Amino acid sequence: MKYFPLIWATLWRKKTRTVFTLLSIVIAFLLFGVLETIDHAFSHPSGGVTGADKLVTTNKYSITLSLPFADAQQIRSVPGVAEATWISWFGGYYQEPKNFVFALPVDTDSYFNLHKGEFVVSDEHMQAYRNTRTGALANSALLKKFGWKIGDKIPLHSTIWTRKDDGSLDWTFDIVGSFSAKDPTQAGAQATTLLFHYELFDEGRSFGKGSVGWFEERVNDASQSAAISSRIDALFANSPNETKTQPANDFAMAFIKQLGDIGFVLRAILGAVFFTLLFLTGNTMMQSVRERIPELAVLKTLGFGDGRVLRLVLAESLLLCVIAAIIGLALSYAMLPIIKIALQGVELTPSALIPGIGVAVLLALIVGAAPALRAMRLNIVDALADKR
Amino acid sequence: MSDQSNHTLVNVDGVEKMFHRGSEDIHVLADLHLKVPKGEFLALMGPSGSEKTTLLNMIAAIDRPTSGELLVMNENIFRFNDSQSARWRNEHVGYVFQTFNLIPVLTAFENVELPLLLTHLSASQRKTNTMAALTLVGIADRAKHKPNELSGGQAQRVAIARALVADPMLLVCDEPTGDLDRKSADDVLHLLQVLNREHGKSIVMVTHDPKAADFASRVLHMDKGALLEAGTRLQD
């Protein structure tokens, strides 16, 4: 700590240069924070079905191809399957495409039985839902977001399913109740969820009647998941609708990867940013050391050893990079709510920002190494010769 | 140990310095012999290129000879490795430069405190010692000023305070008045004289200025890397 005033004062020797360098690192770490959080969110999905005892069965060839509803009975008959339910992708939004709603047509009994303990919904609201054919249960966050109230009739626009009666893509639901996530960590994942009756959906759509998007199963013994998956898939082997059963989290990953390898794209962007930053900051540090070679020689004359001079320059680099990283990561943390809105349904976690400090330290050591070594190897007499 | 060696602070014995330029060897110091007793204020005079500063740098342990021995306080300082040399300089040598060489981003106080950062002194002890050094050179009231807010004479006083703060036995001064006007130069030289006479600091000073040399207790002349006979003055 006793060297801090020296390091700090040296860092701010050329204020404009330091501010611009700091800003460039701040921007890089802001980008790092945002992209890393998004990458983390996509590679650790927690939305929808979760838990080791949950399986998802989709069409073997693509999750966009449907499966016959009738498969449900056969899946339920597989030993070890405690419950099975079926769902389809509705692809809905409210008024504008940016107002994404994770609307799911579900079979009430089997869905809530399978997801027992995951939702908090009052008996009154559940009963109202059961009694209302056009009823929908919306997450309380969704109600708040769009200002919906119990009793409201709300239109949702499907991007896929046309209605049988008028050919439109607009579906109307009665909000009869709300629910929230029992596990607070799932709150974000469920924030845009709206559940409505599968019967209404199946009877109302103009095509695809009797088909489902995918099945979800809960097994009695999670350790038997692999064997049960094989048994389910064996049931439909060589049929027109072969299946692929996998753990629920793997399904969520596969769903996300339809968008492309997000992780690779994000890492490529970050790689380019940090590669540029290495040269920019490295050059600045090198220039800074070059400008004060006589001063470093004076420090050595006063008794600062080679190792200490090396550490001083590295500390300066560390201070610059870590301060900038903290500012950048703090800004990206502040932006989380905005990103959350942009990526509706994706849960973001600040823990993804922690590796940023490690990256900052690594960056500092890399960019500080060359100037620090130069300072360390400085010959006092030669360095002073220019400024005696 | 003889009385004489106890009395001698610096003993330069057969020191040579040679540079290689391509295939050519250039001898800049040849078989140099010099004794500086404790408590002496020695002025080394000579024209540019006489290698006064080369000798001074060796005495200050920031340069090494090609051959010969140089004992300071009976220690052969050229047996030290780089780290030991650094520690030696910090504890035993105060260096005063012609151009002050203060760190421009630090205040006078922080500049003077620098050598003490390398010691085990606490922050309050460092503060006490730093202020004592600044007071000794008569510049305590400028402690919070940066070098660009000081006159040349004031800056050199700060530099002297920095050289003194770790209480070294030996002060080496390389043209300490070279960048000062006559009055400031006389003030600085008077200060060095006080430090020598009243505080027992041994001083080796390189200078071009005969008036500066008049403040010293002994004057030696160098030319072309050799010490001239005591009392011999070059005709410039």
Other CB atoms within 10 Å distance of the CB of residue A301: 27
Closest CA of chain A from B226, distance in Å: 20
Is pLDDT of A44 > 80? no
Instruction: Identify the residue with better confidence: A125 or A338.
Output: A125
Smallest CA–CA distance from B112 into chain A, residue:
A302
**CB contact, 8 Å: A245 with chain B?**
no
Residues B196-217 have a mean pLDDT of: 93
Residues from chain B contacting residue A7 (CB–CB below 8 Å)? none
Which residues from B are below 8 Å from A9, CB to CB? 103, 105-106, 110
The nearest CA of chain B is from the CA of A12 a distance in Å of 8
Same domain, A378 and A253: no
Q: Is B95 on the interface with A (CB under 8 A)?
A: yes
Identify whether B109 is part of a domain.
Answer: yes
The answer on A227 and A78 residing in a single domain is yes
Give yes or no: residues A315 and A327 share one domain: yes
Please give the Cα distance from A69 to A57 (Å, whole number).
Answer: 12
User: Which one of A198, A230, A257 terminates a domain?
Assistant: A257
CA distance B162 to chain A (A): 9
Domain that holds residue B135: 39-61+83-227
Residue type, A306: D
**Listed residue (B119, B83, B69) closest to A309, CA to CA:** B83
**A285: part of which helix (H) or strand (E)?**
helix A262-291
- Tell me phi and psi for residue B46, to 5 degrees: 160, 160
Amino acid at residue number B43: A
> Confidence band (pLDDT; 50, 70, 90) for B164?
very high
Q: What is the DSSP letter of A246?
A: E
What's the average model confidence in pLDDT over B102-111?
A: 96
Cβ-based contacts of A5 with chain B (< 8 Å): 106, 110
Q: Which of A63, A73, A64, A62 is nearest to A235 (CA)?
A: A73
Residue A388's pLDDT is 42
pLDDT in tens, B43-92: 999 988 889 999 999 999 999 899 999 999 888 888 889 899 999 999 99
Residue A253: burial class (beta carbons within 10 Å; 0-12, 13-18, 19+): middle
- Which one of A257, A272, A291 terminates a domain? A257
Q: Which of B89, B97, B126 lies nearest to residue A303, judging by beta carbons? A: B89
pLDDT band at A224 (very low <50, low <70, confident <90, very high): confident
Percent of chain A with pLDDT over 90: 60
pLDDT-based confidence at residue A192 (cuts at 50, 70, 90): confident
Interface mutation vs chain B, best among A8, A302, A312, A376, most B CBs within 10 Å: A302
Residue A11, SS3? helix
Query: Is the predicted pLDDT of residue B231 greater than 60, yes or no?
Result: no
**Residue A347 DSSP code:** -
Q: Which residues of A touch B91 (CB under 8 A)?
A: 303
SS (H, E, C) chain B: CCHHHHHEEEEEEEEEEEEEECCEEEEEEEEEEEEEECCCEEEEECCCCCCHHHHHHHHCCCCCCCEEEEEECCEEHHHCCHHHHHHHHHHHEEEECCCCCCCCCCCHHHHHHHHHHCCCCCHHHHHHHHHHHHHHCCCHHHCCCCHHHCCHHHHHHHHHHHHHCCCCCEEEEECCCCCCCHHHHHHHHHHHHHHHHHHCCEEEEEECCHHHHCCCCEEEEEECCEECCCCCCCCC
Q: What confidence score (pLDDT) does residue B162 get? A: 96
A248 and A266 share a domain? no
Residue of A197 and A98 predicted with greater confidence? A197
pLDDT digits (tens, 9 = 90+) for B115-154: 999 999 999 999 999 999 999 999 999 999 999 999 999 9
Domain assignment present for B69: no
Say if residue A146 is in the same domain as residue A197. yes
Res A356: pLDDT: 87
Q: Answer for the pair B178, A387: CB distance below 8 angstroms, yes or no.
A: no
At residue B225, the pLDDT reads: 86
Output phi, psi for A106, to 5 deg: -130, 155
B residues 100-129 lying closer than 8 A (beta carbon) to A: 101, 103-106, 110, 114-115, 117-118, 123, 126
Q: Which residues partner with A119 through β-bridges?
A: A181
Residue A171 is given by DSSP the state: E
Pair B204, B170: CB distance under 8 Å: yes
Write phi, then psi, for B220 (nearest 5 degrees). -120, 150
* Cβ–Cβ below 8 Å for A302 and B95: yes
Q: Is residue B5 part of a domain?
A: no
In this predicted structure, the answer to whether residue B236 has a pLDDT above a threshold of 50 is no
Chain A residues whose beta carbon lies within 8 Å of the beta carbon of residue B106 = 5-6, 9
Domain-embedded: residue B105: yes
Count: domains in chain A:
2
Please indicate whether, in this complex, the C-beta atoms of B86 and A3 are within 8 angstroms of each other: no
Chain B interface includes A311 (CB < 8 A): no
- Examine residue B15 and state whether it is found in any structural domain, yes or no: no
pLDDT for the residue A48: 46
- More confident: B177 or B4: B177
Contact B225, B50 (CB under 8 A): yes
Q: DSSP string of A146-166?
A: HT--TT-EEEEEESS--BTTT
Q: Judge: A295–B95 Cβ closer than 8 Å, yes or no.
A: no
Instruction: Write the residue in A302, A306, A380 that is nearest to B114 by C-beta.
Output: A302
Closest CA to B225 of B69, B56, B27: B27
Judged by CB atoms closer than 8 Å, whether chains meet at A9 and B87 is answered as: no
The pLDDT score that the predictor gives to residue A375 is 94
* pLDDT value of position A349: 72
Same domain, A89 and A230: yes
Residue A223 has a pLDDT of 84
Beta bridge partners of residue A179, listed in sequence order: A139
- Give A371 to chain B, closest Cα distance, Å: 19
- The average pLDDT across A123-148 equals 93
Q: Are residues A380 and A334 in the same domain?
A: yes
The predicted pLDDT at position B234 comes to 43
Q: Tell me whether residue B31 is in a domain.
A: no
Query: Are A275 and A216 within one domain?
Result: no
Q: Is the pLDDT assigned to residue B22 strictly greater than 60? A: yes
Instruction: Name the minimum distance, in Å, from the CA of A330 to any CA of chain B.
Output: 30
* CA–CA separation, A105 and A86 (whole Å): 9
pLDDT band at A45 (very low <50, low <70, confident <90, very high): low
The count of domains in chain B is 1
CB of A116 within 8 Å of a chain B CB? The answer is no
* pLDDT band for position A354 (cuts 50, 70, 90): confident
Q: How far apart are the C-alpha atoms of B202 and B167, rounded to whole Å? A: 11
pLDDT attached to residue A320 = 93
Q: How far is B232 from chain A (nearest CA, A)?
A: 27
- Residue identified by tokens 């959350």 is A340
Per-residue pLDDT at B235: 40
Regarding whether A250 and A122 lie in a shared domain, the answer is yes
Domain co-membership, A312 together with A192: no
Residues 140-179 of B with CB under 8 A from A: 162, 166, 174-175
Would residue B45 count as lying in a domain?
yes
Q: In this structure, what CATH number is given to the domain that contains residue B99? A: 3.40.50.300
Q: How many CB atoms lie within 10 A of CB A230?
A: 12
Nearest by CB to A388, from B99, B106, B115: name it.
B99
Neighbouring residues of A373: CB distance < 8 A, sequence distance ≥ 6: A310
Name the pLDDT band for B229 (thresholds 50, 70, 90). Answer: low
- Domain end: A240, A257, A274, which one? A257
- Alpha-carbon gap, residue A303 to B127, rounded angstroms: 19
Task: Report A:2-41 residues touching B (Cβ under 8 A).
Answer: 2-3, 5-6, 9-10, 12-13
Say whether pLDDT at A8 is over 70.
Answer: yes
CB neighbours of residue A165 within 10 Å: 8
A302–B contact, CB cutoff 8 A: yes
- Cβ A304–B104 below 8 Å, yes or no? no
Contacts of B110 in chain A (CB under 8 A): 5-6, 9
Looking at the fold, whether A104 and A226 belong to one and the same domain comes out as: yes
**Are residues A8 and A117 part of one domain?**
no
Residues A146 and A99 sit within 8 Å (Cβ to Cβ): yes
Q: Which two tokens stand for residue A261?
A: 């390898």
Average pLDDT (A210-235) is 91
What residues make up the domain containing A358? 4-45+261-385
**B89:A12 CB<8 A:** no
